[in-house]
Chain A
Amino acid sequence: MARMNMIQAINSAMDIMLERDTSVIIIGQDVGYFGGVFRCTEGLQRKYGEHRVLDAPIAEGGIIASAIGMGVNGLRPVAEIQFADYIYPGCDQIISELARLRYRTAGDFFAPVTIRTPCGGGIRGGQTHSQSPEGIFTHVCGLKILMPSNPFDAKGLLISAIEDDDPVIFFEPKRIYNGPFDGDPNKPAVPWTNHPKGEVPEDYYTVPIGRAEIVQPGEDVTILCYGTMVHVAQAAAELTEVDAEIIDIRTMSPLDVDTITTSVEKTGRCVITHEATRFSGFGAELAATIQEECFYHLVAPILRVTGWDTPYPHAFEWEYFPGQQRISLALEKVLEET
């Protein structure tokens, strides 16, 4: 076991897969010589060479398209999109091509591409370096969508993603790269050192795709969250002294419906929180699924605590961010209604 932050865990996952499988290659802007703007690929080009870890031109569509072509030709590319906010030029290649190649060829062609991309706010990134576009991609059939909330899951899930024959988008909440963040920007930053999920095996292991995790059992309300919001939800539950069952979704698609419904059937209440905007967001899918599956167990309306339906404003980052206060109010509200 070693102490790792998320960057080191992600780096370790790629290091292990480059070592184990010569078909694995990394491609992306600044990922090679420099080791990535967030350092996730640091040292990998030096270790595995320029033909395994490739710096790419600034063209996300070209990065995804070439990764598809490489995947069709027997490689297992891990493409980095430097910020999730920059993924849109690659969307035709992701949505129309990568996600549907297996389907349109009845399984004769596929491209096992993993797309890694940092997402989320809280780093003063303004509206072009803070977005959480996971809900755009969960709406696309043929993709697997992941977002880890800690170093242990990040490494195990990324290894699973790279080994998976289906295309995966692996969202990395960059606010928690270096430490868990409870939503209070005025507190000093906390490293992963003392967090149990900062303890990460140095060797190969996997965390299965498609499984949510109950990070904290509870009786009174279920909180559904992922990424940075897992830590914010935990802090809000502690603040309000609510006996909340907190579920880290981890895989948004395909969704682990059983873990969610089992919990909500037990608690009868549900608060959903994500950093992304609310309207047509992933929380809407969760809420719809719960009312279809657990309607007669619900004793209060399902509430969503999300980013406002605006772009992520640079100067009002913490007014935008769905922090402890808003989650706490939602918890109190669902507990009021009995």
Chain B
Amino acid sequence: MARTPRLHIPQPPARPGDEPDFSYVELSDAGAVSRPEVTSRARHMENLALELVRVIDDQHKALGPWHPQLDTHDLQVGLRHMLLTRVFDDRMMAMQRQGKISFYIKSTGEEAVSIAPAMALQPGDMLFPSYRTQGLQIARGRNLADLMCQCLSNTNDMCKGRQMPVMYHWARGNIFSVSGNLTTQFPQAVGWAMAAAIKGEDDIAAAWIGEGSSAEADFHHALTFAAVYQAPVVLNVVNNQWAISTFQGFAGGERRPFAVRGLGHGIPGIRVDGNDFLAVYAVTQWAAERARQGGGPTLIEHVTYRAAAHSTSDDPSRYRPRDEAKAWPLGDPIERLKEHMIVEGSWSEKQHEKLVVELEEYCAEAWQEALSYGTMTTGPQLDQHELFDDVLKDIPAHLLAQRDELRSLSD
């Protein structure tokens, strides 16, 4: 008699055609989660890994111990950065669809998990981005055209045409290089933070990965090394529910939140509403202060939703309900901050509309500037012979010979 297979295969709550179902996402009320002193012992705040830190409530009011009490200017800057990130994403997506760039990755719905931390950290802190954290670049004041030039692989591309679109870096802005190999940046950030501590400097590191790639060994290396050496680092897991087509259960999120993984290492784990700008700002500020005071690492799980496709090469309608984003219980980070600011009297629909137009114009101008440096097929072109540069610091003999060979082909 044939035996019945009994291996557990994780199943998402809804597939195409089903009603979206987010009943598995455990929520806390805004303001309900306690805020320990940054010097508290990790074991005295294990609740933070299970509950959900939220500041903005359903009536758009900010409340509770995590309320960061930002002034109007900071709120407006945060909103502007998030909006600019979205406008930028939309334009680049359109440019990919028109064949102007080969590939793109949007961060729609996840803008807060980049913008709020970048604002809560210090300019000297080193950021180790994932491919969906373009908001870090924008919050640190990167010229939009520079990002576009990278996506175009043109003559002003910081990577000299060596990386796929979105694999930015910014040495002067203290933003590390995006790798296509996932989670490699997590233990690297720990090493960077270890070096800062060895040198006795106050700068800290922060890194971002998705929940899917928390399954990589590098995630565990990062947590181990961070815990062992009490490295001053903020480790962010962006749980956007989907890793291409596999839901977060396939990274082990079915039974316990990802933040809990810090606890086994004695690292505080904080689960935060990733679509609540104020909550993300507050927990980052807390973790950064703890790290700077010598309290070591913090693992933050940002609970959010990947509203866009994984990339321009992906079609999420094949594996999840089409209208799932609308059903996401934590809403949209831009809408929520905007509504909060309107309720507080520091913003209006009219100002918002005006800002969107202004940012779209800025984006369009940046695109024209970027195009002036060429595209992969038109305008000024990168010197192909530079493809042999930077393999090593000095070009070795065999690469000089290969460069000559390439040169001879075009003579």
Contact = CB atoms under 8 A, between A and B. Distances in A.
B184 A62 contact: no
A43 interface: no
Contacts of B393: 102, 110, 164-166
B241 to A, nearest CB: 26
B69 to A, nearest CB: 33
Given A72-B176, A72-B192, A73-B126, A105 B198 contact: no
B407 interface: no
Given A62-B187, A68-B188, A109-B171, A102 B181 contact: no
Interface string B143-186: 00000000000000011101100010101000011010100101
Contacts of A144: 392
B390 interface: yes
A126 interface: no
B191 to A, nearest CB: 2
B221 interface: yes
B228 interface: yes
Interface residues of B, number: 45
Contacts of B205: 69
B325 interface: no
B228 A69 contact: no
B391 A103 contact: yes
B199 interface: yes
B169 A57 contact: no
Nearest to B192: A69
A101 B393 CA distance: 11
B231 to A, nearest CB: 9
Contacts of B192: 69-70, 72-73
B221 A65 contact: yes
A61 B167 contact: no
Interface size class of A (residues with CB under 8 A): 35 or more
For B188, B228, B398, the residue with the greatest tally of chain A CB atoms inside 10 Å of its CB is B188
B299 interface: no
Interface stretch (A92-100, A262-270, A316-324): A92-100
Given A70-B192, A102-B390, A97 B184 contact: yes
Interface string A225-258: 0000000000000000000000000000011010
Contacts of A71: 191
A75 B195 contact: yes
Interface string A37-74: 00000000000000110101101011001111111111
B187 A61 contact: yes
A121 interface: no
B70 interface: no
Nearest to A68: B188
Nearest to A58: B224
Contacts of B218: 61-62, 65, 92-93
Interface in B213-230: 217-218, 220-222, 224-225, 228-229
A103 B167 CA distance: 13
A89 interface: yes
Given A69-B192, A92-B184, A106 B225 contact: no
A189 interface: no
Given A65-B188, A92-B184, A105-B169, A254 B392 contact: yes
A224 B198 CA distance: 43
A255 B398 contact: yes
A65 B190 contact: yes
A106 B191 contact: no
A164 B392 CA distance: 10
A107 B390 contact: yes
B389 interface: yes
For A73, A92, A104, A107, the residue with the greatest tally of chain B CB atoms inside 10 Å of its CB is A73
Interface string A184-225: 000000000000000000000000001000000000000000
A69 B191 contact: yes
For A68, A142, A165, the residue with the greatest tally of chain B CB atoms inside 10 Å of its CB is A68
Contact of A69 (B163, B188, B199): B188
B184 A65 contact: yes
B380 interface: no
A282 to B, nearest CB: 14
Contacts of B181: 92, 96-97
A65 B187 contact: yes
B90 to A, nearest CB: 27
B370 interface: no
Given A66-B191, A72-B192, A96-B181, A210 B396 contact: yes
B194 A70 contact: yes
A141 interface: yes
A8 B393 CA distance: 30
B243 interface: no
Nearest to A97: B184
A32 to B, nearest CB: 12
B287 interface: no
Given A59-B220, A102-B390, 8 more contacts: A66-B188, A73-B196, A96-B181, A102-B392, A105-B158, A142-B391, A144-B392, A254-B398
11 contacts: A69-B187, A69-B205, A70-B198, A72-B192, A73-B199, A93-B187, A103-B390, A104-B179, A107-B389, A107-B390, A254-B397
Q: Which 6 A-B pairs have the closest CB atoms?
A: A69-B191, A66-B191, A62-B221, A65-B187, A73-B195, A254-B396
Interface of B: 126, 158-160, 162-163, 167, 169, 171, 176-177, 179, 181, 184, 186-196, 198-199, 205, 217-218, 220-222, 224-225, 228-229, 389-393, 396-398
